[in-house]
Structure 1
Amino acid sequence: MSTERMPNPAALIPGAMEALMALTGAIAGAGVSERVLALSHLRASQINGCGPCVAGGAAQARRHGAGDNQVDAVAAWRETPWFSDEERAALALTESVTRLADRPDAVPDHVWDLAAKHFDHKELAALLLNIAVTNAFNRLNAPTRQQAGQW
C-alpha cells in the first residue's frame, strides 16, 4: 500500500475543514435519519475507493443503528433483504449522483421518483448535499492517499 502524499487538503486551507464540517452539521439537522445518511456516505465512499471514508462510514452507520448485516452488505444492497424501501431509495440516488458520468441521464427519472416518494424536498436537499460532501471528501482523500484510521 502506498503512503499518504500530503495531508488532507481541507486541513491545509484555513477554514476549509470547518466549512465542510459546518455543512455536515446542517445536513444532520434536516430530517433524514442519521442511519440513512451514514449508509449513503458509506456507499459513495465504496464506489470512490476512499479508505478513510469507508472505515468512518461503517463506524458511523453502526453508531446510528445499522446492523452488521447492513454495513457488511451495503455494496450489494439490491441483493439482500436488510434494507428498508427508504434506504434503498437513498442508496440508488447515492449511486446515480456519485456516478454522474456513467450514463447519459445521470439520475434517471425512476431513481429520482423513488427517492421523491420517500423524502420531501428538504430531505432530498439534505440527501443530495450529503452525497456531494461525501464525494468532496472522497476526492480530497483518494488522490492524496489518506489512510484509514489516521484521523
Structure 2
Amino acid sequence: MQARMTNPAMILPDATKGIQNIYKAIGSSGTDGKVLELVHLRASQINGCSPCVFGGIKSALKNGETDERLHQVAAWRESDLFTDAERAALEMTEAATRLADNPTAVTDEIWAAAADHYDEKELSAIVLMIGLTNLFNRLNTTTRQPAGATW
C-alpha cells in the first residue's frame, strides 16, 4: 500500500512541535511506560491503524514488555497476564476509543476503577495517551500510512 501523502503532522512543523510537547508532558507524569504502551497498542488495534500497531509493539518491546503479553492485548479480558491497574487502563482505553459504540463512553464505573489505581497525574497521562493515539490512528488511516514506518 502506498501512502496518499506524508503524514500531515510531519508536513506542518508546528503540529509536530505541539505533539512532541504532549508526549513530553505524558513522559513527565511518572506513569508506568508499559501501561502507556498497552494503552497505545489497544487503541491502535481497535482503530485498525497498522503503523501504530507496528510502532507500538516495537516501542513496547524497547520498554521491557514481553511478546507473550503483547500477543494477548487484544484479548486482555481473558488473559491472566495483566494486573488490575493495567486492566483498568485498558478498559478506559476501549471505552474512550469506541465512542460511537457507546454514547456514555467512559462510565463512572470505568473511571472509578482507573482512579483506584492511578493518581490525577497518571490519569492525565493515560487520557492524553488515549487521545493522542486516536489522533495518530485517524491521521494514519486517512492518509493510508503503511505499517513499518515509524516517527
TM-score for both structures, normalised by structure 2: 0.95
> Which residue does the alignment assign to 2:75?
76
> Does 2:99 align with 1:105?
no
% same residue: 52
How far apart, in 2, do the equivalents of 1:35 and 1:140 lie?
24
Matches within 5 A, 1:8-19: 8-19=7-18
Unaligned runs of 5+ in 1: none
Which amino acid is the alignment partner of residue 46 of structure 2? I
What is residue 86 of structure 2 aligned with on the other side? 87
Distance 1:7 1:67 in 2: 31
Q: Secondary structure at the match of 1:30?
A: coil
Q: How many residues align?
A: 150
Partner of 1:63: 62
1:16 Cα deviation after fit: 1.0
3-state DSSP of counterpart to 1:70: helix
The more displaced of 73-82 and 55-64 is 55-64
Structure 2: runs of 5 or more not aligned: none
Cα separation, 1, equivalents of 2:121 and 2:13:
30
Distance 1:14 1:104 in 2: 34
Moved more, 15-24 or 31-40: 15-24
5 Å matches for 1:1-151?
Answer: 2-151=1-150
Shift of 1:53: 0.5
CA-CA distance at 1:132 after TM superposition:
0.5
Which one-letter code corresponds to 2:85 in the other structure? E
Question: What displacement does 1:14 show?
Answer: 2.3
* Alpha-carbon offset, residue 110 of structure 1: 1.6
Letter in 1 for 2:91: A
Displacement after TM superposition at 1:104 (Å): 2.6
State the Cα deviation string for residues 14-62 of structure 1 (Å, max 9, x = none).
Answer: 2211211221121011011000000100000001111111011111111
Please state whether the residue corresponding to 2:121 is helix, strand or coil. Answer: helix
Where has structure 1 moved over 4 Å in runs of 4 or more? none
Q: CA deviation at 1:13?
A: 1.0
What RMSD in Å do the two structures reach over aligned CA positions? 1.0
1:71-100 C-alpha deviation (Å, 9 max, x unpaired): 111000000111111111100000011111
The DSSP-based 3-state class of the residue aligned with 1:43 is helix
